[in-house]
Structure 1
Amino acid sequence: MKKSVLLIAIAILGLGSSASAQEYWNFGIKGGLNFSTITGDYFESPKTRTGLNFGVLAEIPVSDKFSIQPEVLYSAQGYDFASIDEDNIFDNDDNIEYQVDYISVPVLAEFYVLDGLSIQAGPSFNFKVNEELDYQPRNDAGDIDKDRFDSFGLNGVVGLEYKLNSGLFFDGRYNYGFTEVYENSGAHNSIFQVGLGFMF
């Protein structure tokens, strides 16, 4: 994992060095909501888990219409499902949540199509930091530690962002996991994100 983080950092610095010396990096903070689930032939449409995402970002101008935007985010993902609990392990609670949280490092190409409005697309490198099966997530009554999801995942990201002159911005994105969440599962992460932030 340390090698992966180092390689990502080198790539980001390399992209930034290609920007014109007259241009400046812009830094910001952001936060928002995730609506996450998993998709796959063997999963019967699990419900979405609503979680938070938050972190820091930089915008590296390359031209008037094109920038590179690397970010480092904490992203709460997973899914909800109802279980047929024949052994009464979960006290007949239908509200069961699989919580899988990541440190996500998106590196996005940003194309401005109108003043303040941009299309974003690129990869996201995701490092698992927490995984729990919670059978009463609203009451925080029962957590079972798991280690089933892979520790690393690669996502593709597409979205829109609108930035005001004040530095305030709003975005909406879709993330799809190119890698399986665990080996030979046929399951992939699927996340819609909405958020807001501020560029300094």
Structure 2
Amino acid sequence: MKKLLFTIALAVSAITVQAQEIDFGVKGGVNFAKLQGDAVEDTDGRTGFHVGLTGEYMFNSSFGLQAEAVYSQQGLQSEANGVESKLKLDYINIPILAKFYIADSGFSIEAGPQFGILVNDEFTQEGGLVDVEQDADAEELDLSAGGGFAYKFKEGTSLEGFMISARYMIGLNNVFEDNDTFGDDITNSNLQLSIGYKF
């Protein structure tokens, strides 16, 4: 019993030490999202927002790993012959990004995969003979990859703890499968501009 308690205590201590080495924070910003594919090439993107949590672990002064859990509004919209169509795709996105810091400047280059969990899909049409509001039947999981640039304000400055970033993610799997409206060769794309704060 004593050995078990000692092992548990060591494990908890190790987790606590690791957690203390992770910079946790919050972030939010604007999305310029769009879908890619022949069936939607004449549509406009959806401008929305994203907000969530972030954590960064530094292996050394120039390389780190950042993981996030972010609510993200994506999709598209279009208008033709007085009919306005909107496709709302909302995800909980979990990017896992390698970060490479440039010297001691605070600038970093980030890249890696992103896993998206669909939490809302809604298709609406207004202005036609009959207004339409229905589920879009999008796939529940979305896989993307991409990267961008970030800047973390240095310690000792008036903006210490704040960060800004620009990131572009491109979808790797189809958003729909056997969808009569959009087809099955449609992928996500999203440009994110973010501001955050690390505690």
Q: Is the 8 A contact 1:98 1:131 kept in 2?
A: yes
Structure 1 residues 78-113: Cα deviation after superposition (integer angstroms, max 9, x where no partner): 0011245xxxxxxx443x211000000000000001
Runs of 4+ in 1 over 2 A off after TM superposition: 41-45
* Letter matched to residue 121 of structure 2: E
Q: Shift of residue 40 of structure 1?
A: 1.1
Instruction: Give the TM-score normalised by structure 1.
Output: 0.78
Name the CA shift for 1:169/1:156 in 2 (closer, same or farther; >3 Å): same
2:140 pairs, out of 118, 126, 151, with: 151
Q: What is the match of residue 128 of structure 1?
A: 118
Unaligned runs of 5+ in 2: 1-13, 155-159, 179-183
1:73 pairs, out of 70, 73, 80, with: 70
SS across alignment from 1:182: coil
Larger Cα-atom Rg: 2
Q: What is the match of residue 34 of structure 2?
A: 37
* Letter matched to residue 122 of structure 1: G
* Distance of 2:132 and 2:50 partners within structure 1: 21
Unaligned runs of 5+ in 1: 1-16, 85-91, 137-141
Name the CA shift for 1:143/1:55 in 2 (closer, same or farther; >3 Å): farther
Instruction: Give the TM-score normalised by structure 2.
Output: 0.78
* Distance of 2:63 and 2:92 partners within structure 1: 26
Give the superposed CA RMSD.
Answer: 2.1
Q: Shift of residue 125 of structure 1?
A: 0.4
Q: Shift of residue 143 of structure 1?
A: 6.9
* Letter matched to residue 172 of structure 1: A
* Distance of 1:196 and 1:99 partners within structure 2: 23
Q: Is the 8 A contact 1:117 1:162 kept in 2?
A: yes
Q: Is the 8 A contact 2:87 2:136 kept in 1?
A: no
* Distance of 2:72 and 2:132 partners within structure 1: 19
Structure 1 residues 134-167: Cα deviation after superposition (integer angstroms, max 9, x where no partner): 346xxxxx77131421010100021100010201
